Structure 1
């Protein structure tokens, strides 16, 4: 009985595993452009359109709304199409969407509504791409390599998240906020070219192609909610992402308007999210080997929640340093939890269910991001940006509690 998608072979006898490096390069290049956009898009709203904190929160919420609107059906949709080709198509769609922002700015017709719609449609493309991306990896990587490959990918993404915002802040100062978004459009095009060079395809399961759509969705959700390890892991990730949504929406407003930092410095501070993620990815394999994956997940979640307390404490000349340290620690905790739980899901989920399980998990976890973003924008406008960051600190405590109150607390490894 197999434990994952069967490895396909491309013409000429080349193993599908060789496609991993195209897969890896595609992920890294696309993430670098996304890191630029993470700084440039809210700064475009703040600088070009003089947006309010709620406007920035609305744009951030729209940028993650795909998880709510398409999260559950995404698994069934992905399973009905060749995953690699679907990823290429989503890359091309995202390139066109993001390029429309600088084009509209040059024509002096850019509005908040366009930024919201661009964020929304990119988020819909993102959810299909990400579900296909996660479900496709076991088709080109052996089970025994999954943790190491997931760590490598997370480390690479963390590196680009470190470089992307820094580059974004620099490009905003040199080229302007809107123009710098072309970097992301180009990255999506390069990603599509690299994915197109992979010759392997994850085989679809014809046995499930004619089952009712809702039944297929229900099977994925039921597997997640009934699994004694996946369920609390999802709860912890959801709490993390709810707090993260607040931070994503409020951080640019706090750093620009409360702290008065220039765009270049804002980019450097936000890049510390990538620095923390890189550190987390670098130690995950060693931490899991030394403590066990379950204990490592509990420890990392608690440490990440504690680091968040530094965000609202940032004041005066120490604002940049304190905020950067808090952001890095928060990101490290999220990254370690993500790598460990993602690898666990990829190894214990039956192959025919994997896309639907991935989609179900993203519905719950990523669906918390737009909720947090709207909450953060509302609190920042009503009270203050610092008050919104304090709310994030209160919510993030639920993440370690979710793991500690479950069977995960009694395990050495998540798959025990």
Structure 2
């Protein structure tokens, strides 16, 4: 009985080995550019357009709205196209979109509407690219190499999360917020060039199954909703991302307007997210060995939520330090939780269903980010940036509650 499109595993040789390194380079350079944009885009709205807190939140929401709009069908869409070619096209689309911002600024026609639309369409491209990217790696390396290669990619992405915002803050000070976005456009072009160098035979289109488009979407969604461990983990991820969306939208507003920090310092503070991600990735294996994956997942959400309170508690001369520590601790908790739950999903999901399960999970988890950003922006306008940060941190405590009121509380390993 057919469960959906079947993938064709290619032969692996020297071309696939070189293909992985092109894949790795593409992932790293595009992630570095995205980190720059994470700082430069909201600063463009704040500096060039004098945007309000709600408007900054609106841009952040639009930048993640793709998960809501096409999150569920993304897995089926990806399975119907050659994944290498799809990633190249999405890179080119993102390069054109992000380059339109500095061009509009130079022509003095930049508007808030354009920033929102750029964020929205980039988010749509991001979803298709990321689902294809996650599903593409098994075409490049053997099953035995998969864990090591995933670890290398995770470490690389964490490093770029550290370097990107720092570099973004410096470029904003040197070039201006809008002009610095050209760096991200160039990074997407480089990513497309690296991906194009991967041998074509490693990404042949999958065979078509007999299920309809809707049936294929439902199969992935149903697997997620019925699974006794994946379902509460998704709920916990939604809480964390709802909190992250609010904090992501409010951080530039708080640091620039409440704390009065310069753009370079803002970039350094926001780069603490990458430090936390590196720390979380480094400690996850030891934490899982000591506590078990289920208990480690709960611990990661609790510690992350508690330490995150350092962000709204930041005051006077210690603002940058306190905010940075809070952000790093929150990122460490999220990263550890994500690694544990992602590994569990990969181990229990049938391979032909994995792209659709990935897309379904991201529909719920990434879809929470724009909602959090909108709520955070609204709360900041009504309550002030600091109180909005407190509210965002409070939402993070819903994550351990979701786990404790499920089967996860009674088991040591997520796979039990």
| Residues 152 and 281 in structure 1, CA contact (< 8 A), matched pair in contact too | no
Give the corresponding residue for 2:178: 178
Change (3 A) 1:219 1:60: same
CA distance in 2, matches of 1:204, 1:347: 24
1:9 aligns with 2:11: yes
Map of 1:382 onto structure 2: 382
Q: How is 1:24-173 mapped onto 2 (pairs within 5 angstroms)?
A: 24-173=24-173
After the TM superposition, which of the residue ranges 215-224 and 299-308 deviates more from structure 2? Answer: 299-308
CA deviations 1:262-299 (Å, max 9, x no partner) are 10110000000111011111222333334332222222
C-alpha separation between the residues in 1 aligned to 2:325 and 2:20?
Answer: 33
Q: Does structure 1 retain, via aligned residues, the 8 Å contact 2:7–2:207?
A: no
Match of 2:3? none
Alignment of 1:201 onto 2:198: no
Q: Deviations over 1:58-81 (max 9, x none)?
A: 000000000000101111101111
Other structure's SS at 1:321 match: helix
Q: Distance in 2 between matches of 1:341 and 1:251?
A: 27
The C-alpha deviation readout for 1:232-288, integer Å capped at 9, x for no partner, is 111111110000000110000000000010101100000001110111112223333
Residues 307 and 329 in structure 1, CA contact (< 8 A), matched pair in contact too = yes
Contact 1:309 1:326 in 2 (8 A): yes
Seen in structure 2, the aligned counterparts of structure 1 residues 411 and 126 have a Cα distance that, compared at 3 Å, is: same
Structure 1 unaligned blocks of 5 or more: none
Deviation at 1:139, TM superposition (A): 2.9
Aligned residues: 410
Q: Which whole-Å CA distance do the structure 2 matches of 1:143 and 1:182 have between them?
A: 38
Contact 1:63–1:123 at 8 Å: present in 2 too? Answer: yes
Q: 2:345: which partner in 1?
A: 345
Q: How far, CA to CA, are the matches of 1:301 and 1:411 in structure 2?
A: 16
Unpaired runs of 5+ residues, structure 2, are 1-5
Q: 1:342 to 1:204 in 2, by over 3 A?
A: farther
1:270 paired to 2:270: yes
* CA apart distance, 1:127: 0.4
Q: Whole-Å Cα distance in 1 between the matches of residues 404 and 265 of structure 2?
A: 38
Report Cα offsets for 1:307-347 as digits up to 9, x if no partner: 11111111111111110000000001111111221222222
Structure 2 CA distance, aligned partners of 1:388 and 1:226?
35
SS at match of 1:120: helix
- In structure 1, the residue corresponding to 2:64 is in which secondary structure? coil
Q: CA deviation at 1:144?
A: 4.4
Check 1:146–1:403 CA distance in 2 against 1; reply closer, same or farther (3 A cut): farther
Could you tell me how far apart the structure 2 residues matched to 1:393 and 1:244 are?
8
What is the RMSD of the two structures over their aligned residues, measured on CA atoms? 1.7
Structure 1 segment 184-333 matched on structure 2, within 5 A: 184-199=184-199, 200-202=201-203, 204-208=205-209, 210-333=210-333
Q: CA deviation at 1:115?
A: 0.3
Q: Distance in 2 between matches of 1:176 and 1:187?
A: 18
Partner Cα distance (2:279, 2:297) in 1: 15
Take 1:289 and 1:25, find their aligned partners in 2: how far apart are those partners?
31
Question: For the Cα contact (< 8 Å) 2:76–2:216, is it kept in 1?
Answer: yes
Q: Does the 8 A contact of 1:280 with 1:333 survive in 2? A: yes
Check 1:146–1:115 CA distance in 2 against 1; reply closer, same or farther (3 A cut): same
CA shift digits 1:338-361 (9 cap, x unpaired): 122122222221122111111100
CA distance in 2, matches of 1:115, 1:290: 46
Aligned partners of 1:238, 1:368: CA distance in 2, in Å? 6
- Supply the distance in 1 between the matched residues of 2:287 and 2:142 (Cα, whole angstroms): 21
CA distance in 2: counterparts of 1:207 and 1:244, whole angstroms: 38
Pick closer, same or farther for the CA change 1:143–1:400 going to 2, 3 Å.
Answer: farther
Asked whether the 8 Å contact 2:83–2:136 carries over to 1, the reply is yes
Q: Secondary structure at the match of 1:381?
A: helix
Q: TM-score, normalised by structure 2?
A: 0.95
